[in-house]
Amino acid sequence: MIKLKNLLLEVHIDNKFQRELIDRINDEYREDYKSLTPQEINDGYCDMWASLFVERFGGDHQWSFDFPNDPNGHSWVKLDNKFYDAEMTTGTTKLINLPHFQRAIKKYGTDWLDTKFFNNIQKTKYDASNINKIEEIGPQNFIEMYLDWLEELLNDLEDSNDIEAIKRYDTVLNARFALEDADSTEIIQYLQRKYGNDVDQIILKILGDTTKYDASGIDTPGDPNM
C-alpha cells in the first residue's frame, strides 16, 4: 500500500502537480518558466513545492534556516514518518538522505551538521495542549511574545559580553523571518527544532507561567540562526 501511494504521488507531481507549481512560481516571481528540474526547484522554490504538496496530500511543512554553509535553508514535508521534497518524491525515512543535504555534505563536509536539529526533526511529536495555548492568544500574538522573550534573553547575553550586538540583531531578525505568518502548528515545529525537549518549558516561560518553570534548566540560545 505504501509503495502504491508513493508511486501515485510521484506520477502526480511529475505532471499536473508540476504544472501548477510552475504557474504559481511564475505568478509569484514574475518569471516565465516553461519547466524546472527538481534540483532547480529545491534550489529556489522548495518552500512553494512543500506548500503545494501539503495542500494536495497533507503532512507537516518543515524547514531549516541559515545553516552555516546553507544560508537559504530548505523546505520539505514530513508525511507518515517519511520526508519528501522536489527531488525525493517517493520519500525517505531519514531527513539527512534528502539530496539537498547530501550535496551540502559533499561540498562542505560534516562540520556544519547540526545533529541535534536532525534528531529533533526525526523524533518530533507535538503536544496538542501547546497548540491550544497558542491558539487561545493567537499565533501572531504568541510570535511577538516569543520575539520579545528572545530579545530580552539576548540582551542579557550582550550585557555580559557573551555575544555582540550584531549577533543579537541577526538572531531576532532571523526568528522573525522564520515565523512570519506561521500558524500554531508551524510555531510549535519551529520551537521544537530550536529547543528540542525543552519546548514545553520554553512555552510556559513565554506565556509567563513562571510557577512551572525554572530558567536555570534551559540552555541559553547563542546561535544567530534562531
Are 132 and 119 in the same domain?
no
Are 164 and 201 in the same domain?
yes
* 226 is a domain residue: no
> Does the predicted model carry a pTM greater than 0.85?
no
Spans of the chain, pLDDT less than 70: 1-14, 64-72, 111-128, 192-193, 196-197, 209-226
Number of domains composing the chain: 2
Task: Give the burial string for 32-51 (b: 16+ CB within 10 Å, else e).
Answer: eeeebebeebbbebbebbbb
Geometric angle at alpha carbon 124, from 102 and 172, rounded to 5°: 80
Question: Which pLDDT belongs to residue 146?
Answer: 92
H helix or E strand, kind and range, residue 63: strand 60-64
Are 41 and 105 in the same domain?
yes
Which triple of cell numbers denotes residue 144? Answer: 511577538
Question: Which pLDDT belongs to residue 223?
Answer: 43
